[in-house]
Chain A
Amino acid sequence: MMFLVRALYVLCGLALTGGSAVAQPIALKQVGSFRVPADTVEIRGNHVFVAGGHTLTILDLSDPSLPKKAAEYAFPEQIWSFRLVGPYAYVAANFYGLGILDVSNPAAPKLRASFKTPGQAKGVALVGTTAFVADHMSGIDVIDLASLDKPMLRGSFFVDGYARDVAASSRFAFAVDAPTGLYALDPARSGTDEALGQVQSAAAPQMIEVIEQGGRVIACLVGGGALQLYDVTDPAKPVHLTSFKTPSGRPARIAVDGTRGYVADGREGVQIVDLSNPSSPVLVGSIKTSLPARDVAVGGGLVVAAVGMGEGNEEVVVLR
């Protein structure tokens, strides 16, 4: 998902000048599915990476109507989230800490490195060769991965509540905690404990994605209520743009592709939100999934959702 979040985010000129874009309705339909423990998903090329429980499963989507298991890798602890960057999957695996899987061959993932954080690793983001790990106990741990043979803790940023997730722009990391909100973290200040910027969010967020394009950086916060959008172009002074209520009122996660946000919206399925003007999002499409949508990923013309109740009935559905 991060891979795609970092993909082109084309803010239209009207949005940048405060005008409004014309949102085009979008329709999706299900073209395939695969039963697998599924909490979070990412897409890369023809493969879907699915984390469920302790296991990261890789599905081959060469034929979207017939997903096939390519490989799986089991961690000793629950996977809370992961990101695909370069040839690696960076996995936040609870008390195990950060696991780094080489997934350059999706049929044969290999553990390349790991680093035990003090508590439960919940989320991870990369700025260059520096990993930021949201740890329930210690806040945001900063781990130097210049040498994967010897990951080193460079410091930790304090967050006021429990760290939930972290995302990155090209220069900064952005973290969310419950209950406080949004933090902007400067890798150059990793020895100080203190965030560069901080702002109280309207509701306790669970997840964050960052969109970066054309000199503007937008943070999307999800969980605990509405989708919240912040302008973090100046990380020292995050500015709340808007809170956007999705049909369920309880969005779970978001993926962004260009100017579109795809929201896993629980029982309401997947919502598509036009973010051309991040101060004024517009709902442009939706699809009701058979089970509540837990996460969503987008790429290669496909949308993939992890759906289920968390009771062993999860599956990945492929939408187009």
Chain B
Amino acid sequence: MSWHRKHLLDIESLTADEIVTVLDTARGFKAVGERAIKKVPALRGKTVVNLFVEPSTRTRISFELAEQRLSADVINFSAEASSLKKGETLKDTAKNLEALNADFIVMRHSASGAPHFLSRVLGAHVINAGDGAHEHPTQALLDAFTIREHKEKFAGLNVTILGDILYSRVARSNIWALTKLGARVTLCGPSTLVPKTFEQMGCRVTYDVEEAIREADIIHLLRIQHERQRKTMFPSIGEYTQLYGLNKARLAKTKPDALIMHPGPINRGVEIDSEIADCKRSLILEQVTNGLAIRMAVLFLLNGGKGPQEAAGN
């Protein structure tokens, strides 16, 4: 158990021990969500600003509910209705939010490194809720938490991430988290979206989908991020589905206890067959439930001060 960080900006800079600390802490917060009274006073009196410069629904709702369940005061700030549209710089927007005594800023931004920049110019705690194609740390933490609930250990576990890796911050954060925890990560997808350079992050790259999922314990599907692609990276959606989509025939050739994950939103009939998304081996909705617990745990851990972990005296 160790946590002395002020911000959560990425997974790359975390140690395996720190990742496990978040997962252990989240276990307690998941139990809070199962009680009649789902709220605890841990962040009472603290103000959290959700600064979503890039639109998001599920992550913002998950953070917002996590903040409310910790009794924090919550302000939502979205790009469409903001001064950023009127020409204000990100730094000025953030400084204005800090002048309102915000204690936490949860930020999503289309530019990689934007939360890192904020953490250098502000006194508040900064949480990265997704920055460009760089990282989405809470997603990787909730994915690791979900895997740990089903598989005994990460060491030796085969995780295959299938789809648009190049434009995916979820993939990058997951690769960092899973390799730090000892899992073996395989990446697969169209070669234009899965460059060999990813091997430098400590994972295996293959373009043969059947080979990629044959020995997998976890099959992690990613959505094709049309919004991030400047040009067409593969001929057609139909061809993608045919070559890389997870269908019944492909699933039949995997290990019987292989589980399926997806960060959402899912595109039924594209990267995943509709029936598979709803089958028992799909953890997609568990990921959503666990996301809440992970975000509560992250806020709780960051809120800790500089003092010793143990209470004074005992």
Interaction A to B: no
